[in-house]
Amino acid sequence: MGRHASTPSRSRIAGRPALLGGLAVLLIAAIGLGLVWWRSGDDDAEAADCSDRQTVRVTVAPEVGPLVERLLSRPEPLGGGACAVAEVTAEEPLQTLASVGALDAAALPQVWVPDSSLWTARAGGADVQAAGSLASSPLVLATSRAAADQLGWTSTPPTWGQALGTGRPLAVPDLTASAEGLSALAAVRQSLGGGADADNAVVAAVLAAGRGEVPSPADALTAGTEGGADAPLVPVSEQEVLAANTAAGSDSLVAVYPSDGSPSLDYPVLQVGAADAAHPEAVDAVVRTLTAASAATQVRAAGFRDQEGSAPEGAGPDTGVQEAAPASLELDAAALQGLLGRLSSLATPSRLLTVVDVSTSMSAPAGDGTRATLARDATKSALTLLPDSYSGGVWAFAYRLDGDRDYVELAPLRQFGADAGGQTQRELIDGQFDSLPGLLSPGGTGLYDTTLAAVRAAQNAYDPASVNSVVLITDGENDDDTGIGLDELLSTLRAEADPDRPVKVVGIALGPDADQGALQQIADATGGAAYAALDPEDLQSVLFDAIRRRS
């Protein structure tokens, strides 16, 4: 996101010890190593007073690296010829968090300054103690000044919830590595009142942000500095707005402060356990320097607000950042952690075989159309939310659509971004959804034979890196007297269940005539779920909820 520490004089690159375990190694490779600065205190008088130099390991978020280096640039006398000397490492908080959970105490920082206290909640059982705060920076929605004017936000800022509903692209930072992204989505959820509808709105934004055509946060900031009225929205800290404008030589990027308040990055100063009990006085001296009120001038000069909330240097009406501190929005910590868990589950892609009833009963009126057009519109709408990393296939079923078979494959299971004969799999599926109302066929509904065949097909095409599911949409009940019965279907599903290739069936009963009882039993046999969509407006929310819950 462009928050990188600059390399000061007398700097060198220093590697971190390798993280233990496969996941930690991947995180190190993905995020990269931080910059380490050694401050030795070259002043001769100071050197004479520091015969006992006690090194304190300090790890900080990259954007406060230069600030912390300046604050800790001189040895801190401790008396008796001893002094504290800081070894400052700048690295992303996620990397430090992995270290806290994997490395020996001697390899850990003694003082850690991440961008947010959210990281302490994710540190599990690690011994991390808060000792104060270095700085703060409110969370804002960044976009171009022209876009803010066009949206009417210059005079009337939106709530977080309203900001999500503009239809403008939203560049959501990586939720596993970004306190800004998680805080922004928690603010949106809180603004919308919590609950299932709020969860669905947030998750829809995350899924949509995973689509290939949605800009990255860095690209969104660049677009904002270029001033176009079509610039996307991106949740970032106030400090990043100032930094982006400064780097671009622009004043076009502006911070929009939502009317229901802003969560803040609070840059806590944390002591990590008793990593080096031999030098507690040196650790205390470093902590005092970082949390002292006297640091405020340098904090503001670096683009942050100080402990009193005073404006950073460069704030003002023409710079995109307001001088007055915005109203604070306190996030519900428990709800935020729960949201993190739900959003983290989306990191595993879905592999969805969607099986849609095309028996003639689907021509029954529903809303402004028919059940078939309702199914078409709902599935097409859900498709627009799913990232290219997800996979999908489509079947239609009724009675003997393909010889003796009750079903026909319209699109095989493939990743949405994959090539499908001159078009993407997403485009192929979208076209097949369009065709559903024209495929209606008389004769009945082969629900049970189709369900068993779909589960077997999903098992054969199983992807261990995905959540594999069959989404079954029907408005009726099984009336194929020549096929298997419900008891045989259930016993076969249980007998063929493979713990190494689990496939869940998500059954959606469309309308009052659907056999929801049978769908529930099928779902129970496969570890899935069953839903009722009795009204036209239900199907869209039910379909999305089924995808979101992964069951």
Q: What is the mean pLDDT of residues 256-264?
A: 95
Share of the chain above pLDDT 90, in %: 59
> Does 332 map to a domain?
no
SS3 assignment, position 90: strand
- Both 83 and 95 in one domain: the answer is yes
SS3 assignment, position 282: helix
- Both 70 and 177 in one domain: the answer is no
- Both 538 and 422 in one domain: the answer is yes
Give CA–CA dist 114/118, Å, rounded: 9
Number of domains in the chain: 3
What pLDDT is recorded for position 142?
96
Q: For residue 431, which amino acid is it?
A: G
- Both 74 and 168 in one domain: the answer is no
> Does 131 map to a domain?
no
What pLDDT is recorded for position 211?
62
Give CA–CA dist 399/449, Å, rounded: 10
What pLDDT is recorded for position 479?
92
Identify the residue with better confidence: 165 or 474: 474
Q: pLDDT digit string (tens) for 74-83?
A: 999 998 899 9
Query: How much is the mean pLDDT over the chain?
Result: 84
What pLDDT is recorded for position 347?
63
Among 249, 284, 303, which residue terminates a domain? 303
What pLDDT is recorded for position 37?
37
What pLDDT is recorded for position 216?
83
> Does 327 map to a domain?
no
- Both 53 and 177 in one domain: the answer is no
What pLDDT is recorded for position 9?
28
Identify the residue with better confidence: 16 or 394: 394
Give CA–CA dist 471/125, Å, rounded: 39
What pLDDT is recorded for position 547?
67
- Both 28 and 83 in one domain: the answer is yes
Q: CA distances (Å), 544 to each of 35, 203, 430, 522, in order? A: 43, 10, 16, 20
pTM greater than the 0.85 cutoff: no
> Does 352 map to a domain?
yes
- Which residue range is the domain that position 173 belongs to? 138-264
What pLDDT is recorded for position 344?
64
Give CA–CA dist 160/257, Å, rounded: 9
Q: What is the mean pLDDT of residues 116-120?
A: 87
> Does 314 map to a domain?
no
- Both 211 and 277 in one domain: the answer is no
Q: Say which residues have a Cβ less than 8 Å from residue 156's Cβ, sequence separation at least 6.
A: 259
Among 239, 264, 289, which residue terminates a domain? 264
Q: C-alpha angle with apex 14: 8 to 15, nearest 5 degrees?
A: 145
Torsions phi, psi of 79, nearest 5?
95, 150
> Does 336 map to a domain?
no
Asked if residue 441 lies in contact with residue 399, where contact means CB atoms within 8 angstroms, the answer is yes
Look at residue 42 and tell me whether its pLDDT is greater than 60: no
Q: Specify the CATH number for the domain of residue 484.
A: 3.40.50.410
> Does 53 map to a domain?
yes
Q: What is the mean pLDDT of residues 330-338?
A: 78
In this structure, of 58-67, 89-98, 302-311, the range with the lowest mean pLDDT score is 89-98
Share of the chain above pLDDT 70, in %: 84
Look at residue 43 and tell me whether its pLDDT is greater than 60: no
Look at residue 412 and tell me whether its pLDDT is greater than 90: yes
What pLDDT is recorded for position 167?
77
- Both 120 and 153 in one domain: the answer is no
What pLDDT is recorded for position 317?
80
- Both 365 and 503 in one domain: the answer is yes
Q: pLDDT digit string (tens) for 496-518?
A: 999 999 999 999 999 899 999 99
Torsions phi, psi of 37, nearest 5?
-115, 135
The conformational region for residue 249 under phi > 0 = left, psi -120 to 50 = alpha, else beta, is: left
Identify the residue with better confidence: 34 or 482: 482
> Does 337 map to a domain?
no
Q: pLDDT band at residue 125, thresholds of 50, 70 and 90?
A: low
- Both 394 and 538 in one domain: the answer is yes
Among 206, 241, 264, which residue terminates a domain? 264
What pLDDT is recorded for position 76?
92
In this structure, of 17-31, 121-135, 240-254, 448-462, the range with the lowest mean pLDDT score is 17-31
Give CA–CA dist 127/274, Å, rounded: 8
- Both 26 and 39 in one domain: the answer is yes
- Both 108 and 154 in one domain: the answer is no
